[in-house]
Amino acid sequence: MPGLTLIDIAALAWFVLCAGGYGYATRYGRLGNNGLVRAINEHRKSWMANMAARENRVVDVQILANLGRGNAFFASTAVFVTGALAALFGTVEEIHALAAKFPFLRQTTVFMWQLKVLFLMTVFILAFFKFAWAFRLSHYTGILIGATPIAASRNKKQCLAHAERVAGIAGIVGQHANAGLRYYYFGIAGLGWFIHPTVFMLTTLWVVAVIYRREYHSRAFKLISTDAS
């Protein structure tokens, strides 16, 4: 592959290690037992338990619709970004010639510029699939809310069991939406590769640090987790 050096391979490997490793640790490792995602899931359970106790669930559907619109926005934005990158891919030779005039950019081949654009396209395509699935699951969550039995003393256990299932689906929605946002973050880190592989590695590490702080040490986490346990 013309222009692909060892430091480029190392930067890509570092990206996969950081992005994949953080995702694995937060879902299956020790980090998954704590953090903002777990805390908000506890509040989802409380929300759905309260929903099951109400006869009028219009407010719950409205809240869910607002969350679904957010997922739809990010999914459509990912499509726009991917389209813009596809257009950039078609003019990469001109961009490569223009980049040669900037001394702070690492000079490399046209193939490497194409590879970097394809890399960013892949990241945002993955983000689209995450948000699109979260949006679809939001519809299923709304259907489950509509199917929740009217709470009464004789079917209280049935209502609570159904509410727990709804909270589980809502948690999966949040899980995929959160993963989609991480792809956005790491897509920004990928821009560093256009400057230099070392910058790419540093921006990837910086993004991991930012995400970790926000999910485990932010003021929002402290406030949300106060009543989550």
- What's the pLDDT at 7? 92
d(CA 83, CA 217): 36
In a domain, 131, yes or no: yes
d(CA 189, CA 125): 16
CA distances from 13 to 6, 16, 18, 37, 85 (A): 10, 5, 9, 27, 22
Cα angle for residues 135, 120, 169 (degrees, 5° grid) = 20
Q: How far is it between the farthest Cα atoms of the chain?
A: 76
CA dihedral 20, 21, 25, 29 (to 10 degrees): 110
In a domain, 175, yes or no: yes
In a domain, 174, yes or no: yes
Q: Which residue has the higher pLDDT, 25 or 30?
A: 25
d(CA 178, CA 155): 34
For the stretch 180-226, pLDDT in tens is 999 999 999 999 998 899 999 999 999 999 999 999 999 988 888 87
Residue 62: both structure tokens together: 């409205």
In a domain, 98, yes or no: yes
- With bands split at pLDDT 50, 70 and 90, how would you rate the model's confidence at 160? confident
30 contacts 152 by C-beta, under 8 angstroms: no
d(CA 68, CA 91): 35
CA 134, 139, 145, 149 dihedral sign is negative
In a domain, 119, yes or no: yes
Residue with tokens 């020790």: 30
Share of the chain above pLDDT 90, in %: 52
Mean pLDDT of 87-113: 79
In a domain, 150, yes or no: yes
For the stretch 48-81, pLDDT in tens is 988 888 888 888 888 899 889 999 999 999 999 9
Q: By three-state DSSP, how is residue 173 classified? A: helix
In a domain, 83, yes or no: yes
- What's the pLDDT at 52? 86
d(CA 141, CA 68): 10
**Domain interval for residue 136:** 6-225
Q: Name the residue among 221, 227, 202, 224 with its Cα closest to residue 15.
A: 202
pTM for this entry = 0.87
- What's the pLDDT at 57? 85
- What's the pLDDT at 153? 61
In a domain, 193, yes or no: yes
Give the count of domains, the chain. Answer: 1
Cα angle for residues 16, 121, 191 (degrees, 5° grid) = 65
Q: Within 10 Å of residue 179's Cβ, how many Cβ atoms?
A: 19
Does residue 92 have a pLDDT over 60?
yes
